[in-house]
Amino acid sequence: MLTTVLAVFIIDKVGRKKLIYYGVSGMIVCLAAIGTIFAFNGGGVPLLVFFLLYIFCQAISISAVVFVLLSEMYPNKVRGIAMSIAGLALWVGTYLVGQFTPWCMSVLTPAGTFFLFMAMCVPYMLIMWKLVPETTGRTLEEIEDYWKTLPTGGGSRGGKLRARRQASR
């Protein structure tokens, strides 16, 4: 919890995407270390250290940033319902990971489970890099305008097409 509080104080200084990049990169390293420790039947203090470091990296990045980004990404007129649906999806995902983990631990082994979790961080980083804009220092209106300029933004015909029509009038 203290790490998430720390993230609240640094999120605007560091930036949302940088916090995600640093945190998820740390998560990947920790998950690789945890998987390796399990693969060699290790445990004890090194395992505890990497689990705690993983929690730190996750809390300072994903836990803090996801709700900030979600609250900034949706237009004002749908923000409430969109945040409700996104929150539900996050909790359903958390539930599914909790249900899926014991099965993975028995079928994939503990090492395989943590290597799988490590691999699952890679698409997250790619999505953040390619699809999510940096919102630090932008107003909600500027962020909404950004989404409208994308080819699929603002409806099925796209924001750029709408902008061309308005410019030609």
Grade residue 160 by pLDDT with cuts at 50, 70 and 90: very low
Name residues whose C-beta falls within 8 Å of residue 133's C-beta, 6 or more positions apart in sequence: 143, 146
- Distance, in Å, from the CA atom of 24 to the CA atom of 58, rounded to the nearest integer, reads 7
Residue ranges covered by each domain of the chain: 2-136, 138-169
pTM over the 0.85 mark: no
- Mean pLDDT across the stretch 87-112? 95
Nearest to 133 by CA among 59, 72, 64: 72
Name the H helices within 61-108. 62-73, 79-107
Higher pLDDT, 97 or 74: 97
What is the CB neighbour count within 10 angstroms for residue 122? Answer: 11
The SS3 assignment for 138 reads: coil
Task: Please give the CATH topology (third level) of the domain spanning 2-136.
Answer: Growth Hormone; Chain: A; (1.20.1250)
